[in-house]
Structure 1
Amino acid sequence: MVMRHKTPRLTLLGAGPGDPDLITRKGWKALQMADVVLYDALVHPDMIAEIPACVRKIYVGKRSGSHCATQTEINQLIVETAHQYGHVVRLKGGDPFVFGRGMEEIEFARAHGIPQIEVIPGISSAIAGPAAAGIPVTSRGLSNSFWVLTATTVDGAFAADMEKAAQSDATVVLLMGVRKIQAIAELFGQFRGAETPIAIIQNATLDNQHTTIAQLGNIATRLHEVDVNAPGIVVIGEVVRVGECCASVSALNHNLFH
C-alpha cells in the first residue's frame, strides 16, 4: 500500500480555562481533524478522552516546578511529528497567546519547514476564572480597565509592571501568583490600602472550583484555605466585592449546567 505524504501543518489551539465544554467549536473541529495532539497539563482529561482513537496523543505537560518536557523539546517535537504525520494540534490551556509561549512555537515551526500554521484562540482563564466566581473584570462605577500580569518572571522576581499595576485603580488579574500571595498583598497594600478586596480562585470553571475572598491586610490569615499547588488566579480590586454578592448566582449556574 502506498502511503500518501501529508503536508506538515500546525494548529495552535487554546483549550479554554478548564471546563472541557468551554473549548470553541472551531477548536473542537480541529481536534477531530488532527493527526497528532500535543497537550499540556492544564487540559482536562475528558477533552483528551473524546479525541478520536486514531489520533496520536502526546502529553507534554508543563507546570510550575514540574516539566514533563522543556520548551525546547516541545518545539522540536512539534516539527518532528508534523513532518512525520502531518497535522499537529498543539493544545494549550487557556489561550495560547496569553502567557502560553505560543509565538515561540510558531516561530520555531516556521523556521523548520512547516508552511501551514493556524491559531485558534481559547478563552483565557484571566477573564473566565473571575467570571466563574461571579467577579467581572470591569464594572461601571468600579473599574473601567484591567491588567493581566504573570506574577513572576523567569528568575523569580516580580514582573516589571507589578508596581505600576499596584499604583493604578484598575482591576488586576495575576496568573501564577498564589505562591507569592503574601508579598503581592504587601506590595499592593502600600498603594491601595489594607482594606482593598482580593480573591484567589482555584480550579476555575471545574467542579472543584474554590474561591477565597479577603482583604489585602488579612489574606495571610486565610492561606490555610488555599492549595498553593493548584492552579490559581488572583484578582485585586473593588470588583471583588461584586463577586461576594454574586457567589450564589455563580453556584446556581454551575448546578444548572453540570
Structure 2
Amino acid sequence: MTGSPVLELRSVCRRFGAVQALDQVDLTVHAGEVLALVGDNGAGKSTLVKTIAGVHPVDTGTIHWHGRPVRLTRPQDATALGIATVYQDLALCDNLDVVANLHLGRERLRHALLDDVAMEQHARRLLDTLAIRIPDLRAPVGALSGGQRQVVAIARAMLGEPSLVILDEPTAALGVEQTAQVLDLVERLRERGLAVVIVSHNMADVTAVADTVAVLRLGRNNGVFPVEGTTQEQIVAAITGATDNAHTRRRARRAGSGEEEAA
C-alpha cells in the first residue's frame, strides 16, 4: 500500500491486572485496504479492537491517525476521528424498523417532531449508495435475516462518514448467501476508499475479501501477510505457532494418496 496510513499502532500494550492482553503490538491500515485481524481465542483481537474503538485506552505505546499521534480514552474520541466499529452483537433494536435503527441517536426533527419522511428518504439514499437491498424499510429489524441485520448495522456505521470501519466477526453464524452479501458490502467499502479491519475466524472469508492478514498470538504480533501469494497453511501456522497443524497434515495425506494412485 502506498501513502501514509489511516491508522498506525506502535508498540501498544494493554494489561488487565496480571494479564498482559496486548504486548508491543504494531498495526498499520491504509485507505482502500481490507485488513483481516486473525488469531486464536485469547490472542488479543477483541482487546485490540476495543483499544482502537476507545473502549480500552492503551497503557503504553502510541496510536497515529493520518500521521499524527492521538489519544483514545473513550468511544467518543474514536467516533470523532472517523472510526466506526460494528461489534458482533450489532446493537440493533429488534422492535424498531430499519429507518429507526439507522437513525438511532441521529434522529431528524421537524417542528420538534420526528421527521419520518426525511429519515426514510435519507435511509433509502444511503442503502442505495451502498447497493444494499432491504425490501421493506418499515419492517422490524427482528424480522430480517442475519445478513440483512449485519448490513443494516454496517450502514448505520456509515452515517458518520468514517475513514475506518472495524467489523467484528461480521459473517459469524451466517449462511452462504448471507455471507456473500456481507462480503460484497465489505468490497464496496474498500472501493469507496475506506480502510476496513475485519476480525474473523473464517479463513475462506479472509482470503476472499482481505488484502492483508495480521496475525495475533498470545497478545503479540505473529506475522503480517499479503493475501496474494500466501497459503492458508502459512496463516494457520502463524495463528497456532506451529508448522505442523491440521491443514498441513491434511495436505500431506492428500499428497500421499496422489502418489499412491500414481504408482
Please state which band the TM-score falls in when normalised by the shorter chain. under 0.3
Higher-RCO chain (CA-CA 8 Å, sequence separation at least 6): 2
TM-score normalised to structure 2 length: 0.27
